[in-house]
Amino acid sequence: MRTRCTLWVCLIGWLMWCGQVHAQTVSLGTLLDEMIDRAGLARFPSPAYTCRQASSYDRGTVAPDQPGWYANMDRSHFVRMEEQDGRKEFVLMDEEGPGAVVRFWATWHGPGGGPFSNGTLRFYLDDNPQPAIEGPAASILDGGALCTGPLSEGVSPETEEAQRGHNLYLPIPYARHCKITYQTDVLVDAGAYKGEALYYQVNYRTYASGTAVKTFAMDQLQQVQQQLDSVQQRLLKSGIDAAAGDDRPSFAGPLAAGTTRALKIDKPGAIRQLTLKLAADNLPQAMRSTIVAITFDGHQAVWCPVEALFGCGYLSHAHRTWCTDVSDDGLLSCFWVMPFAKNCRIELINLSGKPVDVVEAYAVVGPWTWDDRSMHFHATWRQLTKERSFKEGATTPETGARDVNYVEVQGQGVYVGDTLTVFNGADAWWGEGDEKVYVDGESFPSHVGTGTEDYYGYAWCRPEFFASPFHAQPTGAGNITAGYSVNSRYRALDAIPFTTSLKFDMELWHWADTNVNYAPATFWYARPGAAGNVAPDPATAAKPVALKRSDIVEVFQVPDAVEGEGLKTVEVTGGKLEKQTGSQFHWSNEAQLWWIDGKVGDRLVLEFPVEQAGRYEIVANLTKAIDYAIVKISVNDQPPREFDRFHEGVACDVLSLGEFDLPSGANRLTVEIVGMNPSEKAVQRFMFGLDYLQLNAVR
């Protein structure tokens, strides 16, 4: 009996040893393969891992019930500072393995306002005192020191205005330990731009103890160069593999108001691609109010407006990511793998109140073997509509901030991305807030960010278009002015597994107290039985979409005003002329005609219309500030009046230009720069601002 037991113990031990020997070792190569394995994302991870984030978030953020929860000095906070060979190194991350760094985002602000880093990054792996990676931060993250292409990209040194943040998606695996440090020759500030300010986010995986991981070394880059090139080309190409599915059931055709078109698939499989093209008299409304609802194995898991599911927003801009493709002609495709064990039902629901033509609609369906790791794909959507960006009673952006819940899930699954659409009601940045992700009941989030735009891969609230495999901004028109913006982030290696629950919040932290439409869509996989807290909301999806600021904010306008920004320019002899917008200055139509950087003697001639000839008093609302000039203003050929527009602070005056006999039709207003106030506080920019004219008939 003892011999038999001994044999069983030996056999079990041998089997376990064989399993360890033959289990695939995690390495740079396997992680690159995993990055483009969409089907693998639809199965719960093996080997198991957690995903967390190290960042420079303000350490005043302690708990929701304590002051500082919305603290915003999210830079130059580190794990600690330590001495290395006579130099000071600031520790960004210090974590036990086995694991892998899977995303590194950073931006910085140097002394004197420069946007480029003076600092050196070092990756110390497995407690080796010599760094495995060392070099200038910009070079490592997006300057080609490790790789080029979409896995390493960011700002061009020649175009400061295009700064979007520095992104490295090349995985850096380690067997036992990872420490990342930053060292600079200038002071690292602790809150007041006295030195170099560093903002950073590092997403990293930690595998279960005993997982075999091959630690990164620089010579591996040459060994996997062909694979790396292939993966990056595949990421840029997007789309699906030719063999991904042979079935292409279609469900195109007219979709009347209030109706639903459905496609039923009555066999096991997986959707590999979903493609749509809509046409409508009001296409933006159709993009928002046409809903994609998908039921897998009797459970409705997807309920999402077309514009959100495809990451383009209702004001569509052509772009491509690893997960979506939006063509110039409006053809929309997404490439999430969506498996099901028995059946699937895809529905298009028209909530718009007007007919929609589904010009093209089909699914690419391929085989799938359902197992105990297979997960259903989920997509949810919600919107805060005309919500005030400040909470009631708030007096500052920080006291006005609040946590907006993207989604909360109970069950087992993996969080894989989101799209945020915003219609901003003010000429101010809406995205100062940080993401907070709680996994498996955490009391403090394991992901705390440094700003909404940082989460989405750019920086400094830049409005420029960009599209990369894992993050995109199809439009940023509403970032720093009133208007519409769309940001997406898709996760592959930085996907977040959860075994019991996940809660994703994003701070709504706006610089202005205004109305805002704020709509997050979330994408996640989950095992059967999981449930999310975001229910379908047809009433909100059917609401008219915002296309201009006045759709969500009451815009101040002076009755019968002739708006300065709308006047025809006849002549301008110097400086620059443009429309300046701003709700904070109480301009009519929240805009003025702005003339800047002229010089003494320069003239601006404008044309204004008069409907009926007669005698009128002309009044003008003129802006004044420390950089505004002394000007002479004349109407037609009448003698001018002089106005000194210097003022400490920005303000406006309604001033009489005089009474004039005006013919019907076009009349002229001439502005001449004649000097600058002698105050020592005056700034020599020779500005002039015209909000509006009013013509008051003299009886």
Q: Which residues pair with 631 in a beta bridge?
A: 643, 673
Instruction: Write out the residue limits of the CATH 2.60.120.260 domain(s) in the chain.
Output: 562-697
Q: What is the pLDDT of residues 280-300, one digit of tens each?
A: 999 999 999 999 999 999 999
User: Coil, strand, or helix at residue 441?
Assistant: coil
Main-chain dihedrals φ then ψ at residue 117, nearest 5 degrees? -75, 145
Main-chain dihedrals φ then ψ at residue 407, nearest 5 degrees? -170, 155
pLDDT of residue 242: 63
Q: What is the 3-state secondary structure (H, E, C) of 151-191?
A: CEECCCCCCHHHCCCEEECCCEEECCEEEEEEECCCCECCC
**Cα–Cα distance measured from residue 55 to residue 437, given in angstroms and rounded to the nearest whole number:** 13
Nearest residue to 321 via CA among 153, 489, 468: 468
Nearest residue to 126 via CA among 67, 76, 178: 178
Residue type, 350: N
- Output the six-digit token pair for 420: 């945020």
Return the exposure string of 543-574: e unless at least 16 CB atoms fall within 10 Å of the residue's CB, then b: bebbbebeebbebeebeebbbbbebeeeebee
Question: What CATH number is given for 242-551 in this structure?
Answer: 2.60.120.1390
pLDDT of residue 663: 97
Does residue 239 come out as left (phi exceeding 0), alpha (psi in the -120 to 50 range) or beta?
left
Residues 32/171, Cβ–Cβ less than 8 Å: yes
Question: What CATH number is given for 562-697 in this structure?
Answer: 2.60.120.260
* Residue showing tokens 């927003």: 313
Q: What is the pLDDT of residues 263-280, one digit of tens each?
A: 999 999 999 999 999 999
The ranges of the chain with pLDDT < 50 are 1-22, 112-113, 115, 157-161
Domain 28-237, CATH 2.60.120.1390 — does that match?
yes
Element (H, E) at 310: none
- Residues 123/126/131/132 CA torsion (nearest 10 deg): -80
**Cα–Cα distance measured from residue 461 to residue 510, given in angstroms and rounded to the nearest whole number:** 12
Nearest residue to 491 via CA among 534, 522, 445, 513: 522
**Cα–Cα distance measured from residue 295 to residue 528, given in angstroms and rounded to the nearest whole number:** 12
**Eight-class DSSP state of 244:** G
pLDDT of residue 586: 87
Instruction: Write out the residue limits of the CATH 2.60.120.1390 domain(s) in the chain.
Output: 28-237, 242-551
User: Coil, strand, or helix at residue 262?
Assistant: strand
pLDDT of residue 2: 42
